[in-house]
Amino acid sequence: MCIKRVSSKFITLLVVLAMLISTFCFTFPVSAADRGEWAPYTTYAADDIATYNGNAYTCLQSHTSLPGWEPTNVPALWKAGGTAAVATPAFNPAPGTYNSTQTVAISCATTGATIRYTTDSSEPTASSTAYASPLTISATTSIKAKAFKSGMADSATASGTYTINTNVVATPTFSPAGGYYANTQSVTISCSTSGATIRYTTDNSTPTSASPVYSGAISVTKSTTIKAIAQKAGMTDSNVANESYTIGGSLQKRVLIGYWHTWGGDASGGVPFVKLRDVDPNWDVINIAFAEPVTPGSTTGQMKFAVTGLTSSYTINDFKADIKTLQSKGKKVVLSIGGYAGYFSLTTASAATTFANDIKGFINEYGFDGIDIDLEQTSVEFINGSDPDFKNPVSPKIVNMISGIRQICDSYGSNFILSWAPETFYLQLGYQYYGGLNSGCDRRAGVYIPMIYALRDKTTYVHAQLYNSIQVMGLDGKYYSMGNSEAVVAMCEMMLKGFHCGGNSNYFFPGLRADQIAIGVPSSQGSAGSGQISNAQLQQAFSTLNAAYPTLRGIMTWSINWDAFQNSNSFAKSNGAYLDSLQ
């Protein structure tokens, strides 16, 4: 027999491996236990139970596992069999102190396990009460729960105490309840806790001990959210109660809004001109597009308004008469300002006044019911990166535009309509990029935010243009392309819930009321470059939002003319009937 010489390096390597195995793989024993699912780099003691591929295995020798050492691969370390334990039950919400009755759910991660529980401090057994539905806890209660499953060891016992603070002031209640009301409402607030003081707010802020004291019925003359708390010495403050009241005045609860072109019928006008008297009766609000600057791109504030589709058989007097006829039928006719070609800026206070006076002249001459703001291009923009606080803007174009619009609104009564039609670039994009805060982005990103905030007391509704849009990030961090129900819901929820501007937690744009939101989409394939959505998907999105926000105002589209030309008015007929069904 020939014996080959073994090198000293190889012998050294064997010794090192032996030392590693003795120190790393076979560690000091720990107490045996059910270790759950097998995992590498885990220390197991003899008699531990681990689950692998749905089967239980018993550890034969203490060791720390490595990749590839699964129980099925290393019979020297594991044997099939053993009784794994059921997962320990979990409570939701977690045990703790609460100021009101709690509904407590008990769950178990082990599929098919039966949960049994006690509330008398005794240990749960297989004959204890079986958990079937969430428990209602109205007084301090200790719960113990255990899970059982045939072929597995019983779970560990979960226990927790729910302390219900009974020394808490009752939550205030409102009468009448929130909702849509055509006229002014007298709202009373009450609290069942004798001697409690009620404090309230109407600016969407949370009431505190410094808020006004409720002393009698509140007259709600415009759409308002009232929030209230009740306080009493020696007791915990009540929960905050809130109700939203939509005061419609002469505007109905749900509205279908369409833009009507003042032009059309020639080579440059695209779709044919439609006489105002011939618009489909399903339209509730007709936005007349557009009032424009005398000179595009000007800063003087001088404005013009003209209907260029007129003929000898349809004169300006016919147009004015049609406005009155539509209004007699309950329709609203609103003057839209701007548009893509009608861009202008107000850089001085005097320009803002000139703008306001010119627009008021058109309103008075034609009898419009309000104004719609559709500013595009460079009409408004930030001093890039140097105007971070939307509550206190300093950019001249923004400050003066706010002033001009407020001068107009202040000249008319509470039924005067102020609507906004920002592209997503000018509103929702402000969540990720805000031109006044983020110096590296476009100066117009989010530029409608300070205007809407400053004029939210005058704002009837906002119908952002969910078309001709880039992908926009929603509150969930996902990017949305327009033209589907998910995108519609995500973009509207940004306006309803509010968001931080430019990702900065110091600047939170608060959400609008649901009655201040309408969904804006194209009416036909030819009316916009993107964002088209079927009536069915649009109505699905509205229903989803309306379930959570039941006073959602309505639907807007560009445009009435395109719908008549390309759809035979099917957008108006389908969505008008849908909104009517929700009244």
The residues with which 244 forms a beta bridge, in sequence order, are 225
Alpha helices per DSSP H over 343-415: 349-366, 396-409
Distance, in Å, from the CA atom of 418 to the CA atom of 99, rounded to the nearest integer, reads 42
Report which secondary-structure segment, H or E, holds 529: none
Cβ count within 10 A of residue 94 = 9
The residues with which 102 forms a beta bridge, in sequence order, are 137
Half-sphere exposure of 547 (CA within 13 A, CB side): 6
CA distances from 566 to 75, 217, 288, 532 (A): 74, 52, 20, 13
Cβ count within 10 A of residue 116 = 21
Distance, in Å, from the CA atom of 227 to the CA atom of 216, rounded to the nearest integer, reads 15
Q: Among 462, 451, 551, 449, which Cα is nearest to 500's?
A: 449
Query: Which pair of tokens denotes residue 360?
Result: 């008021």
Distance, in Å, from the CA atom of 562 to the CA atom of 565, rounded to the nearest integer, reads 5
The residues with which 236 forms a beta bridge, in sequence order, are 168
In 495-583, DSSP assigns E strands to 498-500, 508-510, 518-522, 554-558
Distance, in Å, from the CA atom of 93 to the CA atom of 407, rounded to the nearest integer, reads 51
Distance, in Å, from the CA atom of 244 to the CA atom of 161, rounded to the nearest integer, reads 36
- What torsion, rounded to 10 degrees, do the Cα atoms 422, 424, 428, 430 define? -90
Pairing assessment for the beta strands 135-137 and 102-107 based on DSSP bridges: antiparallel
Report which secondary-structure segment, H or E, holds 187: strand 185-190
Q: Considering 376, 381, 423, 493, which one is annotated as catalytic? A: 376
Distance, in Å, from the CA atom of 300 to the CA atom of 558, rounded to the nearest integer, reads 29
End-to-end Cα distance, the chain: 102
| Residues 6+ positions from 341 with CB-CB distance below 8 Å | 292, 296
CA 247 from chain centre, in angstroms, equals 23
Half-sphere exposure of 500 (CA within 13 A, CB side): 8
Distance, in Å, from the CA atom of 297 to the CA atom of 564, rounded to the nearest integer, reads 32
Distance, in Å, from the CA atom of 247 to the CA atom of 257, rounded to the nearest integer, reads 18
Half-sphere exposure of 521 (CA within 13 A, CB side): 31
Distance, in Å, from the CA atom of 271 to the CA atom of 564, rounded to the nearest integer, reads 9
Q: Say if residues 359 and 408 touch (Cβ distance below 8 Å).
A: yes
493 carries an active-site annotation: no
Any idea which residues carry the catalytic annotation? 376
